[in-house]
Structure 1
Amino acid sequence: MTAPFGTRLAAAMDGLGPLCVGIDPHATLLDAWGLADDAAGVREFGLRVVDALGGRVAAFKPQAAFFERHGSAGVAALEDVIAAARAAGTLTIVDAKRGDIGSTMAGYADAFLADGSPLAGDAVTLSPYLGFGSLTPAADLAARTGRGIFVLCLTSNKEGHEVQHAVGRDGVSVAASVAAQAAVLNAGPVSDGEPMGSVGLVVGATVGDAAQETGTDLAAVHGPFLAPGVGAQGAGERELAAVFGAARRNVLASSSRGVLAAGPDPDGLRDAARRAAREVTAALRG
């Protein structure tokens, strides 16, 4: 049986540094790389990133939206990029932010987490705002297939606080509730000796004291944190200490344009990724 995602991710972060490189084929980046803004262009972009950095970083994070905007051919391009990352031996977090209820959520789970699905990487991002329990089909399937999920918790967009900081009748914030329910799902695997569970959270590295303000216990989650905004993107050791505290070691820093802007030259991408990995390792584990 495949080792659980949390175990595989911990090993990759220890061996290669806690860096995840986003694969975000923005129109401006495609133009800078001399590629057309179409399905063939996004496919070529993604495959070049994987070819340059496969086996050199802990994870890739292709943003599904930039592929989906080109219709079925764009989705097929995403499938090719996921397959290439798998062949390169690099973990892939598909950034799809899906969230729904019942059979619809089960359908999303099958698409992004089922064995044999061409859209299934090693983990997927999910939105909990129809209720954390609505994600149960995805959480259950991920556990059965050894994959992971990253649930939105405290994001750095200015609108995020409208929902994430809101407090329910029980006096608990939405963010704190999301983190607490993730902790419950991770409790069994961690108690069985795994380095961290496979249910992670998306927490922006630039949210400051939001965890304290919302009463969100990140250390208790015992899972990975996908964190945009680390290192060259703005958040250093002081900011990370404020956001994550004792949970810093489980942070997987996400960098997209900070690395991708160095392309399309493969050596440029590798140099940028090495610098980013050094910066985030120093910030997170120094």
Structure 2
Amino acid sequence: MDRLIDAIERMHNPSVVGLDPTPQLVPEPVIASLHDEVADTVEDEREIDAVQLAMAYVVFNQVLIDAVCDIVPAVKPQIAMYEALGPAGVDAYAMTCDYAHERGLYVVGDVKRGDIGSTAAAYAHHLSGVPALPGTRQDTASVPNRYDPWREDAITVNPYLGVDGIAPFVEAADACDKDLFVLVHTSNPSSVDLQELELGSGGRLYEHVAGLVETWGRGTEGAYGYSRVGGVFGATFGADAAALRRSMPHTMLLVPGYGAQGGTTDDVAGMFDAEGRGAVISSSRGIIGAWRSAPERQASMGQDDALELVAHSARRAAIDMRDALDQASSR
């Protein structure tokens, strides 16, 4: 987590932009402009829509990244948005992560993996890269030289299969100088149906999970005192934030739900430690979709004007979020 915290300190900004594109969030002229190029190169016409949209996602994301890379320390692409398009979408996800890295951003892959045994070990290659064949040059090379198609610095993980589903990710993160964020209390309203269940031993289920996450990261703390094993805690449950922060002194918090989902600066204020560290706050639609409510938006915009509006609106929204969070982290 040291690299993430260093980036936050450089930017004076504890925010992460969620790159979760949908056909509704990408301006129609951007999508339409790619049709002829795709139609000329794709053999199976059934693939045209998926490839066209995947290419539009890459263009859209690159414009967004260029617009905010000197303001925010990190981005968080949600892999489901890309996997929905099939192989072309997976390529778009990898290209997005790679481009974000090129622009100096810390990349959180929002993949929410969770399984056990060999399956968990396979998913952990999101962090460790493609496994090498025995006896090959890659097999004998140092870990950082392995082929890493995902270019993620961290990923999100579901804890509800227990430590068997977490240990392979912790091992991969430790070996490859990467991180993970484990779901503790998510921002969706129905999360309370499970995550706030009262336990017979006292406390609520998410509080028990929080204790496990703090334990799972033990021994991997960096210079700032935070371990490689972070936790995900929704901004929409900010009333419990201060108590959670006290119970997880070595756990970096990734906080979704800010902005469009209803989370406010008051909700996230308790998630920072006494030095104003310990949390990174995520906003997706509030930044990447800011162009849709821009007063200068015109129905007849061409591709270039639409992308310029996307960039301008996202940058303005990212600056507003940074300034608001600066007050919250200093309380």
TM-score by length of 2: 0.75
**1:46 to 2:91 alignment:** no
Residue 246 of structure 1: how far off its partner (Å): 4.6
Counterpart in the other structure of 1:61: 76
Per-residue CA distance 1:215-255 (angstroms, 9 max, x = gap):
856543412111123367644443234x5375763110101
> 1:276 maps to which residue?
321
Residue pairs, 1:109-128, within 5 angstroms = 109-114=124-129, 115-128=146-159
The residue that corresponds to 1:251 in the other structure is 279
- Could you tell which deviates more after superposition, 157-166 or 71-80? 157-166
Farther-moved stretch of structure 1 (167-176 vs 202-211): 167-176
Partner of 1:105: 120
Once the two structures are superposed, residues 137-178 of structure 1 have per-residue CA deviations (whole angstroms, 9 ceiling, x without a partner) of 011101111111011111121221222122445445331222
Q: Determine if contact 2:127/2:172 at 8 Å carries over to the other structure.
A: no
Show structure 1 runs of 5+ residues with no match: 1-5
Aligned-partner Cα distance in 1 for 2:260–2:188: 18
SS in 2 for 1:188: coil
Q: Deviations over 1:11-54 (max 9, x none)?
A: 11112110101101122102457325721122222222222222
What's 1:157 paired with?
188
Shift of 1:111: 2.9
Structure 1: distance between partners of 2:279 and 2:245: 14
Q: Secondary structure at the match of 1:249?
A: coil
Question: Counterpart of 2:86 in structure 1: which amino acid?
Answer: G
* Contact kept in structure 2, 1:236 and 1:283, CA below 8 Å: no
Return 135-144 or 45-54, whichever deviates more. 45-54
The equivalent of 1:267 in structure 2 is: 312
Maintained 8 Å contact 1:46/1:81: yes
Counterpart residue number, 2:133: none
Give distance in 1, aligned partners of 2:241 and 2:312.
Answer: 38
C-alpha distance in structure 2 between counterparts of 1:237 and 1:41, whole Å: 32
Q: Pairwise mapping of residues 129-278 of structure 1 onto structure 2 (< 5 A)?
A: 129-168=160-199, 170-190=201-221, 193-210=223-240, 216=244, 218-230=246-258, 234-241=262-269, 244=271, 246=273, 249-263=277-291, 264-265=307-308, 266-278=311-323
Is the CA contact (8 Å cut-off) linking 1:18 and 1:253 kept in structure 2? Answer: yes
Matched, 1:93 2:99: no
- 1:19 and 2:11 matched: no
Distance 1:133 1:169 in 2: 24
Change (3 A) 1:51 1:44: same
Given that 1:98 and 1:125 are in contact with CA atoms closer than 8 Å, whether structure 2 keeps it comes out as: yes
Partners of 1:112 and 1:42 lie apart in 2 by 23
Deviations 1:179-225 (A, max 9, x none): 112212333243x643422211110111143468xx85654341211
SS across alignment from 2:122: helix
Answer yes or no: is the 8 Å Cα contact 1:113–1:120 preserved in 2: no
Q: Partners in 1 of 2:86 and 2:99 — Cα distance?
A: 20
* Alpha-carbon distance change, 249 to 230 in structure 1, aligned in 2, over 3 angstroms: farther
In percent, how many aligned pairs have the same letter?
A: 32
Give the conservation status (yes or no) of the 8 Å contact 1:231–1:280: no
Larger radius of gyration: 2
Aligned-partner SS, 1:187: coil
* Contact 1:179–1:221 (8 Å) recurs in 2: no
Q: Which SS does the other structure have where 2:75 is aligned?
A: strand
Contact 2:182 / 2:232 at 8 angstroms: preserved in 1?
yes
Q: Residue 249 of structure 1 contacts residue 285 of structure 1 at CA under 8 Å; is this kept in 2?
A: no
Across the two proteins, how many residue pairs are aligned to each other?
277
Question: 1:254 and 1:33, CA in 2 relative to 1: closer, same or farther beyond 3 A?
Answer: farther
| Structure 2 residue matching 1:209: 3-state secondary structure | helix
Cα separation, 2, equivalents of 1:273 and 1:32: 23
Unaligned runs of 5+ in 2: 33-51, 130-145, 292-306
Contact kept? 1:175, 1:216, Cα under 8 Å:
no
